[in-house]
Chain A
Amino acid sequence: MKITRRHALKLGSIGALIGTISGFAKTVFAEWPAAAFDTTAYEDSYAAVTNGVEPKEGGITIDAPEIASNGATVPVTVSTDMQDVKSISVLVENNPRPYIATFFINENIEATIATRVKMRETSNVVAIVETASGKFIAKQSVKVTAGGCA
């Protein structure tokens, strides 16, 4: 195939676009904090997530069942009305590895995240929300009648 100038430009721009997307994905994908996720004591997980910033109470709603019959899948929804939310982290105090996840959101995402977590036993589900004006924390107790291998 003869490559005309038009073709070359088109190919070039597609290449650049792919480059940008995969480049971005790589930087995002490189940040997984192994040490934080490997913590086995809640205090350590908490310290890894809060990173020296003591969170304030309140402003967060955790929607989780009071009693979960199956600890392998416990539906948890974390939401807040606070502005400028940067991230939402979820921890389960009594799990063998308490740090569950962190969700980073941009300004176009409503600060409501729903997912399902594993719970070994009855425990507090902890949500830590980071906003432009600091960190906030909320807890809710979930009674687990049959534990999921967490």
Chain B
Amino acid sequence: MDKKVKIRATLKDGVTTVKALMTHPMETGARKDKSTGELVPAEYIQEILVTHNEVVVLNANWGTGISKNPYLSFKIKGGAAGDTIALTWKDNLGETGSGETQIKQK
């Protein structure tokens, strides 16, 4: 089941700023559960794909070093109000999450 990604895109002075917040534990596999002393299994996002009107504009490979509940922000040259920006992630367990938004003029 897809998990929701919070995503926002605002256009100002010809530049669209995209901000995305994912909900994910980003477990490295090296952390111990304090109550049981057992290692918490790795669970982290490995891949990110961002599309602008269904054209891939950014993709990323992530390791375990990205913080829990990952934040990502970047800027698109141009873009128009109403354009669709979508982000999809996939973690090491094969789980996916996605979110999309329309660019808003500021």
Contacts and interface: CB of A to CB of B under 8 A. Distances in A.
B60 A116 contact: no
A5 B49 CA distance: 35
Interface residues of B, number: 34
A105 interface: yes
Interface string A109-150: 110111111100000000000000000000000000000111
A101 B60 contact: yes
A73 B63 CA distance: 15
Contact of A100 (B63, B71, B72, B73): B63
Nearest to B63: A37
Interface in B56-73: 56-68, 70-73
Interface of A: 21, 24-25, 28-29, 31-33, 37, 72-75, 77, 90, 92, 95-106, 108-110, 112-118, 148-150
Interface of B: 15, 26, 28, 30-31, 46-47, 49, 52, 54, 56-68, 70-78, 88, 90
